[in-house]
Structures are given as C-alpha cells and as structure tokens.
Amino acid sequence: MTKAALLLAGTATAVIVSAAAGASLHIARTLITPAGERPERIRILAADDATVTLYADEDTLSPGVFSLYWGNRAGHARIGRILSREPAAGTVTRAVEKVYAGVLEAGTSGYWSGYTYPTPEEAGLPSSDVWLPGPAPAWLVPGDDARRWVIHIHGLGGRRATGVRTAPLFNRLGYTQLLISFAGDGDAPATTDGKHHLGHTEIDDVHAAIGYAASRGADSIILSGWSMGAAMALAAAHTSPQKDRIDGLVLTAPVLDWDSTLSFNTAAARLPVFLSGTALWILRGPLYRLAGLNQPLKLNDLDFTSIEPEVPVLVLHSNADTSTPISVSAKYAALHPDSVTLVRFPAGRHTQEWNTDPGLWERSVEHWLPQ
C-alpha cells in the first residue's frame, strides 16, 4: 500500500471512530436528559362531548383506555373504547370518557399516553399529599389495613400518576398506598446536575418511601414498579434497610438490564449495537462529565437479576413491547422459577399492559398477592 493510501485509510478510520464516539455520546446524553415538550403528532379530526375521531395508527388502534394530552399537557382527556373505523379514510372513532382540562376540538394535535387518571381522586380514591425526605411529593391513599402497603414507583420520564390506574385494585383489597415521585421526574426537585441517573441515585427516594411506610406501621409492603421503577423496586428489595418488611414485587414492563434494553433500542433504530455499549461505558466510566453528569452512574448496583429474589416477584410484560424486550423478563423468570412468575400480555406498548387488558393485569396480581 502506498503512503498516500495509508494516509487515506488512516484518515477514514479516524473519521469513523470520531463519528462512532459522537453517536455514542449523543445516545448517552439523550438517555439521561429530561425530555422537553413531547411531540404532538396525533391530530384530532373531529370531536364532540362523547367521541373523538383520529387517524388510525398503532397507538389510536390499541384496545383499552388511554389518555390524550394536547397543548403541552394543558389539555387532557381520557379516551375509551373503539366505536368505529373507516379503513378507506384511515381513521378511527373512540369514546371520550372524560375531559379533564382544555377543549377537545378538531384541528388540535396531541400525544397518546398510558396514563388514565391524573389523580387518585379522579379514580374515585381519597388521597392526601405528603412530602417524603428528598424532598419528594407523594400521594397517600388510605386503606382498610394500615399494616399492608403498596408503594408505586414510576419509570424514566414518568410521573407518580403512572400507578393511579392500578390503585383501585389495591384499594379494594384493603391496602394503604403511596404513589411516589423521585428526583428529576418533574414532580420532585431536579437532581444535582439536572440529569436522570437511571435509578442510581433515584433509588434513595424509594428507600425513603419504604422508611416512611415503616414509620407509619407498615409491616407488609408490596413494591409496584414500572419500567425503570421496576429495576429500583428489585434493587430496593435487596438493599433497603427495611427490606424485611417487603413481601413482594409487582413489576410491569421492567427494565431489568440497561445493557440489553439499550442494545435492543439501538438495534431497533437500525444503529450499530456497539454504540449502546459505548454510551453506557461513558455514563459508567471516566468520561461521565462529557454527558453532563457530576458523578458516574454505577448501574451494576441496580442489577440483581442473577441473584435469587428474597421475596416473590410477579412480572407483567407485553409481547409487543418495543422499548423493553420481554426476552429479558423471560430469561429472569426462567433463571428463578421458584420465585418469579411471568404473565405475558399479547398486546400493548411499553407499560400499557393494564390499559390493553385490565382484567388480566388485575386477576394476575390478585391471585399472586400474599393472602
């Protein structure tokens, strides 16, 4: 090879390496940066007090009950069952169960969400606002039994309203409930560097919630975690100073392994999978400041998938989840068959298992809960 060819080859390699490093850093920064306004791509074609007509897509054709937000969350409606479809026009008409805020009208655009109720009161449950150490606001929903508690832990980019959709079930069963927020989620104050820490520091708010429940008489606690909140619930069951009070975990669409989850999403975006590994290496290692962090994220401290759970675990996960692979949940259940029960949902996007089949979610949980 000539000297010129060697120079060109070296330059090309340097460009590729530089591009890969830049792409990995972009992935790392995107993963930990709180989202701004969500894209409002769902256009309202027609609406009245009882119905709304939308373009048909994977979201708007999903069976079940959902929310439609618009105007950067200034508007909010609970959307129910599918009433009719017009395949030729590519539209679907659904029931409007309730408009919580704003005016639902043609020409407005919004986004689809698995959230169903904005507050416990809208789900028919009394609640009070409490502040946990952190500080972090939470909803306290009283139950018939002050000794049995459920603590709801939402996921990355979520809010404490995540768990409201399942709170009526636990209320019927007598549980006292705590729906918590954690640092950086938009309800609680931001983290010290303004970034998400993927559970590494947010788990401190979970420990505080468990301590709060214990201080008020809870001696049997179920942790109900969603997505990243499921990883924190699993870690808390092993590391909480009050772990002897934890009697079980309900994990919906869990992020059990950041490596597998990010690799899955990177491949789905048709990017080289090695970029996700490099992105996590940046967040974990000496280059963490390049991503805007003030400390490296010790994500391995949250990974307890290879360790036998100390309490029973129920995993509820959709086969159709394109964000968190159900294969990781299946592997976890197969590794611990005596402790982990996996319930597969045939439909539903990430964390929408209850929305698409509330009966299956609630029957599975009620049958599994300790008697």
User: What's residue 19's pLDDT?
Assistant: 64
Write down the pTM of the prediction.
Answer: 0.93
User: Is 15 exposed, middle or buried, given 0-12, 13-18 or 19+ CB atoms closer than 10 A?
Assistant: exposed
Beta strands in 89-194 (DSSP E): 91-101, 109-113, 128-132, 136-141, 145-153, 175-180
**Are 185 and 154 a contacting pair, CB within 8 Å?**
yes
**Are 240 and 223 a contacting pair, CB within 8 Å?**
no
Cα separation, 350 vs 251, in Å, equals: 12
Place of tokens 């606002």: 129
User: What's residue 6's pLDDT?
Assistant: 39
User: What's residue 1's pLDDT?
Assistant: 52
- In terms of Cα–Cα distance, which of 287, 136, 276, 293 is closest to 202? 136
Cα separation, 30 vs 185, in Å, equals: 15
For the chain, residues with pLDDT lower than 50 are 3-17
